[in-house]
């Protein structure tokens, strides 16, 4: 069980957005270049993140994407929810409000012992990822001495 690239790229891209962007929207191609992710593919990922309410977009010249909330209000959990779905590990557990049912998968639904382990693990991870935000990532990056890219659109105004 590995995270899909949608999750890994998604987190990287959102971090990039939080770390390198000012108040202006950032284009997919810039993030794509900095993070070395196929721009077309990144567009797809960003669509999901937009649907999930993590990103907002602006079309046209000088358009691009912006974080919908402040970095400290976007957790890894939020991102994974958009890219991986409700439950990590297995599909056969019912999570949250239980509106969406999952495929039963095995006949022993409800009385399956192993289900409880995956459910516990899922809760643990959800809780953990809920406490890590984009702001934390930015702080780590700064502590590691990661360079911010100068916004080259500013050049025109100098």
Residues that bind DNA (CB under 7 A): 1-2, 4-6, 9, 25, 27-29, 37-38, 40-41, 43-44, 46-47, 50, 57-65
The residue (of 106 and 154) whose beta carbon lies closer to a second copy is: 106
**Do the Cβ atoms of 12 and 137 come closer than 8 Å?**
no
Look at residue 57 and give the partner it binds from a second copy, DNA, none, a contact being a CB closer than 5 to 8 Å depending on partner kind.
Answer: DNA
**Do the Cβ atoms of 109 and 94 come closer than 8 Å?**
no
| Residue 77, both tokens | 């959990």
Radius of gyration of the chain (CA): 18
d(C-alpha 15, C-alpha 21), whole Å? 10
Residue with tokens 């990532």: 137
Residues that bind a second copy (CB under 8 A): 1-4, 7-8, 11-12, 15, 36, 76, 84, 88-91, 106-107, 111, 113-114, 116-118, 120-121, 124-125, 128-129, 132, 137, 140-141, 144, 146
């Amino acid at each position: 069980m590995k995270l899909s690239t949608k999750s890994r790229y998604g987190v990287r891209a959102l971090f990039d957005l939080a770390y390198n962007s000012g108040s202006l929207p950032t284009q997919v191609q810039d993030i794509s270049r900095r993070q070395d992710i196929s721009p077309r593919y990144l567009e797809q990922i960003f669509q999901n993140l937009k649907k999930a309410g993590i990103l907002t977009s602006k079309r046209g010249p000088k358009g691009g994407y912006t974080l919908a909330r402040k970095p400290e209000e976007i957790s890894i959990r939020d991102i994974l929810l958009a890219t991986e779905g409700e439950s990590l590990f297995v599909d056969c557990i019912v999570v949250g409000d239980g509106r969406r049912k999952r495929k039963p998968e095995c006949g022993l639904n409800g009385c399956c012992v192993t289900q409880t382990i995956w459910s516990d693990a899922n809760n643990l991870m959800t809780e953990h990822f809920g406490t890590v935000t984009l702001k934390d990532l930015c702080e780590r990056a700064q502590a590691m001495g990661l360079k911010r890219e100068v916004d080259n659109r500013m050049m025109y105004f100098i």
